[in-house]
Structure 1
């Protein structure tokens, strides 16, 4: 049965009935025809009974033909085709009761599938409906409500009790009490003090407070999640592949068995009986229900999956590749030291670097800005800011051209820079270099502690079937190796550019299904290259979320282990359900081939096995 396409009747590009009403109405009509025919037969009106059953069968044939044609246009020849042959066959050999029973099975299957899809997409719809659409800006003593698209970085946004934070920002004024359950799935309320970052989509659970916007609407956390959610389909790509995989041999086997029954017995009725019991639509229905239930359950854990295909792939992943920063580490690096070139002041080095990094979403950039605010430094607004994935950012601050990030020493490094490198190596720290007008001016040393849940998460991933864990990072080899040793990671690739990460993903993909987990702009190409890309959407970049198949909306990497466990279980249930349906149909086909199971009892057997 092809479960990929379920279309309404179309006329001029418009549906005759809303999607949510078509399947239930089809079920009501076919069930009504079956019931009316049964009652007529009981009172002896056999002709009226046959007429009712014929009506129910014909009504089911038309939409079934549309479903099959739609599937064929997409290159699928599912076992729905068997249902069409069975319905037509029952009409041809005048087994009208069997036809009406098949019609009810088809309609009930489609109705149950549609209901399962609606249940699975309920959390996604709630996510979309929760999206803020306006904000209240404070300009001096005046507060005015504006469309969310008009909020700019630096604006002061007022958030009243019970309201949703419209954009990412920093708390200004008194602490804020927040309900972050929409993003994290955790019901416990949290408090954010003045200067702490808050994310859009979070509900104000306390009194009114103000937020200074650090991102526009399109670059805020909630907008990233909504963009992905709009593409989430509870339709089931894996069920299509699962059904078609079995249909590849089951469909020709069914037709051949029906032909053999006709040739051996000379009875078309026996051939139709084979086709009737070969229609396993209701039994295969457990497969899509398992997949869409998995999607729904994952969303309740704060894991947004972009469709059934990603869930199925996640269910048999064997190699996991992870970025280091904000994935295995906390993503909240702290500044260890600021080293200035001769003639420069450390405070000025930090101020300039933080000023330029105000517009960068990278976790190291946020650490610089936080450190500058903590030291009371007055930051300047940068201009002409550009991002260079894997290298850092460049821009203008106070008429000086600055770059912040990695630095390729084209000539012998000065003594102070060599000392900074040595210090970073000893402390297993990351180095952020600042150049001013093309000259090295200073370096900031940062260290990012390991996530507390990382060891437990990796153990759970291995128990779920992950055989190989690989770290891909642009960081130095020493801190990367240190973390890998602590966590028991199988292999480490350090000092990688975005292109290097893509190459590493392709190398690992040669023999196994791979999942790449990352958060930054530099991870986006690798996420797109992997079989399944997973973005840390809670604090990751827009680019990484848009390139990913799965987004973790909560800042907890252990949710990935939950998602893998759910995917493995959903896929196992789907496969077991499909196989059981096929084997039961095969047994019934053998009985029908031998003449032991006429069409009407065969249809009743299918109906009984479904219920």
Structure 2
């Protein structure tokens, strides 16, 4: 705060002095001298600090220009140089405060006091004192303090602070609620699950803070360029002075090129863009990631839960021979009860609705992505894909194979069940694709992506059906989880010149996400794994955020290029005007001061992206 106040004070004094001079009011040159010498102190200090760190900063170049101005007696020019430097320091401080302000804006959505139900008593606790399993009372109009699960009541919750989605979400018993979101109507009791630094809001704040510390490739390039530019400028100034012996001419040259607008405006553009993304439910982990997003050529995506709703429903139950339906469902639920496969949950939900009580099993063995083997009542039960149970010795009759093939070709998924060496039946599933996916893929292609590849463990017919509906270019079916990882590895190896993005849920796809150049994890609200796994965490399951992220990245890149062009053009114009004698040192200083603001204001346009 002290640095900001002192720089604002300096700017105010310098602007006042220069304005009085401009309108013809005589200001003692002594005042200009005193102010200019005082203003030189922070420049000298900054120069020594950079030299101590074995770098050459623009402050060093400015110090040289100021010394030249003092030698030449150009006190008005010196005032303009100091005005420029003080303004640049203000913008630098302001840039750092952008990230801090975003964090503060998130923190304001966190209530300080919370009502806790303790038996029949209600007590008020500070948010820092809330513990896991505390029962919170959340009335309409109150913000939710920590991540929790609803145990009683119903409410409409506005999650826009985390997801960017303005539509309230109905929360009932068993639903999860998240820190900083707003209960717009209804009243609920909720049991605290993630408190303090483990809450979703705390995770987001941590990511935003870390993202501001990571420099992009472009920013690193600007830093390196600035080093060479400053050294070259100093060398050029010395050569010019040796040739011309004209201090005023050399000073005018230095005043035109002595600027750090690029060093301020480029990081500013990235900072504003990352902040903008966070406000819209797109958590970009660094400016380097934002830069890669703008260049994506290929998208690789999982199917279940990414392109579909991940809510497969049982459409048919088919049994063979005299095998009873109820017994079939009982044995199937027993086999699926310990599985982690996405189809296990809908099977168990379906059997529960059918009144089946899932029995315990004595042995369980699962082959990821294929099926499982269990022992129940001394019977060996095998469930999973048809080819899996066949490899395990289950005999499949010709008519059973024909029926299974017909359903598979129609785009349905099957989970089969074999008991004591025979196929006894299967359940038929359908998973509905998201209706907006086709438009998402179309938009990404308009933004530069030319290929979408879908990876799935389902059969080729199911994959073809989803691919046709969504507009997927290529698909790979019947893949196990480890085969998906190997596919991404091999594709990247063969296409090193392409920027490959991977889209998934961040849980089942964590390994594949880690390999991609850019990784998007969906539905990150409440999921630590999803937030940590990907370069970009989308706070909802809405893939429409992906083209939004691409637009954000491309607009940032465009502004960076524009700022480089602005810097080059303004320098060429300024040097030309010095060369033809239009600019004396004072004119060069004024020109430099005014043109410095152009790339900075251009970078600020990102806040309206």
In 2, the alpha carbon distance for the partners of 1:424 and 1:462 equals 33
Counterpart position of 2:327: 345
Is this contact kept in 2: 1:168–1:220, CA < 8 A? no
Deviation at 1:262?
A: 1.9
Counterpart position of 1:336: 315
Counterpart position of 1:497: 481
Deviation at 1:467?
A: 2.1
Greater Rg, structure 1 or structure 2? 2
Is this contact kept in 1: 2:207–2:285, CA < 8 A? yes
Counterpart position of 2:86: 107
Deviation at 1:167?
A: 3.5
Deviation at 1:470?
A: 2.1
Counterpart position of 1:583: 569
Gaps of 5+ in 1: 1-19
Deviation at 1:168?
A: 5.5
In 1, the alpha carbon distance for the partners of 2:404 and 2:205 equals 42
Summarize the Cα distance change of 1:174–1:50 in structure 2 as closer, same or farther, 3 Å threshold. closer
Establish whether residue 525 from structure 1 lines up as the match of residue 511 from structure 2: yes
Summarize the Cα distance change of 1:475–1:267 in structure 2 as closer, same or farther, 3 Å threshold. farther
In 1, the alpha carbon distance for the partners of 2:258 and 2:375 equals 69
Deviation at 1:500?
A: 1.7
Please say which of residues 201-210 and 455-464 is displaced more in the overlay. Answer: 201-210
Structure 1 residues 253-272: Cα deviation after superposition (integer angstroms, max 9, x where no partner): 53454244223312344333
- Of residues 341, 347, 356 in structure 1, which corresponds to 2:338? 356
In 1, the alpha carbon distance for the partners of 2:218 and 2:139 equals 45
Deviation at 1:276?
A: 2.1
In 1, the alpha carbon distance for the partners of 2:172 and 2:121 equals 24
Please say which of residues 427-436 and 201-210 is displaced more in the overlay. Answer: 427-436
In 2, the alpha carbon distance for the partners of 1:581 and 1:82 equals 17
Counterpart position of 1:6: none
Secondary structure (helix, strand or coil) at the match of 2:449 reads: coil
Counterpart position of 2:601: none
Is this contact kept in 2: 1:39–1:49, CA < 8 A? no
Is this contact kept in 1: 2:178–2:525, CA < 8 A? no
Summarize the Cα distance change of 1:64–1:423 in structure 2 as closer, same or farther, 3 Å threshold. farther
Matches within 5 A, 1:434-513: 445-494=428-477, 495-498=479-482, 499-504=485-490, 506-507=492-493, 510-513=496-499
Summarize the Cα distance change of 1:80–1:44 in structure 2 as closer, same or farther, 3 Å threshold. closer
Deviation at 1:546?
A: 0.7
In 1, the alpha carbon distance for the partners of 2:542 and 2:315 equals 25
In 1, the alpha carbon distance for the partners of 2:145 and 2:8 equals 44
Deviation at 1:577?
A: 1.7
Secondary structure (helix, strand or coil) at the match of 1:231 reads: helix
Deviation at 1:242?
A: 5.4
Summarize the Cα distance change of 1:46–1:173 in structure 2 as closer, same or farther, 3 Å threshold. closer
Structure 1 residues 125-177: Cα deviation after superposition (integer angstroms, max 9, x where no partner): 444554689988879878888966533xxx987544324274364x5555432
Secondary structure (helix, strand or coil) at the match of 2:212 reads: coil
Counterpart position of 1:198: 176
Deviation at 1:558?
A: 0.3
Deviation at 1:433?
A: 7.6
Deviation at 1:504?
A: 4.3
* TM-score (normalizing by structure 2): 0.77
Is this contact kept in 2: 1:257–1:274, CA < 8 A? no
Is this contact kept in 1: 2:46–2:59, CA < 8 A? no
Please say which of residues 142-151 and 328-337 is displaced more in the overlay. Answer: 142-151
How many residue pairs get aligned? The number is 579
Summarize the Cα distance change of 1:352–1:49 in structure 2 as closer, same or farther, 3 Å threshold. same
Secondary structure (helix, strand or coil) at the match of 2:304 reads: coil
In 1, the alpha carbon distance for the partners of 2:425 and 2:132 equals 37
Summarize the Cα distance change of 1:396–1:186 in structure 2 as closer, same or farther, 3 Å threshold. farther
Matches within 5 A, 1:385-404: none
Is this contact kept in 1: 2:262–2:567, CA < 8 A? yes
Counterpart position of 1:573: 559
Summarize the Cα distance change of 1:99–1:194 in structure 2 as closer, same or farther, 3 Å threshold. same
- CA-based RMSD: 4.8
Gaps of 5+ in 2: 598-609
Secondary structure (helix, strand or coil) at the match of 2:432 reads: coil
Counterpart position of 2:268: 289
- Of residues 264, 268, 278 in structure 1, which corresponds to 2:257? 278
In 2, the alpha carbon distance for the partners of 1:203 and 1:349 equals 44
Deviation at 1:313?
A: 1.5
Counterpart position of 1:12: none
